[in-house]
């Protein structure tokens, strides 16, 4: 059970770090549609 919790924590850390990079890399887009599309591209770029 402890291992499961550890994995969830690592997963959440990756998500948070990815979001952080996503804001830096993709901030220049204006509309929500462009942000959504660019988020997909940035997640692929990061490898998440």
Task: Please state the domain count of the chain.
Answer: 1
What's the pLDDT score for residue 34? 58
Concatenate the DSSP letters of all residues of 1-48 into one string: -HHHHHHHHHHHHHHHHHHHHHHHHHTT--SHHHHHHHHHHHHHHHT-
What's the pLDDT score for residue 13? 85
Which domain, by its residues, includes 21? Answer: 2-46
What's the pLDDT score for residue 28? 53
pLDDT digits (tens, 9 = 90+) for 1-48: 578 888 888 888 887 887 777 666 655 555 555 556 666 666 555 554
The pTM is what? 0.40
What's the pLDDT score for residue 17? 80
């Amino acid at each position: 059970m402890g291992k499961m919790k550890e994995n969830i924590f690592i997963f959440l850390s990756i998500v948070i770090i990815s979001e952080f990079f996503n804001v830096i890399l993709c901030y220049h887009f204006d509309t929500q549609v462009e942000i959504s599309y660019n988020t997909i591209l940035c997640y692929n770029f990061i490898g998440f």
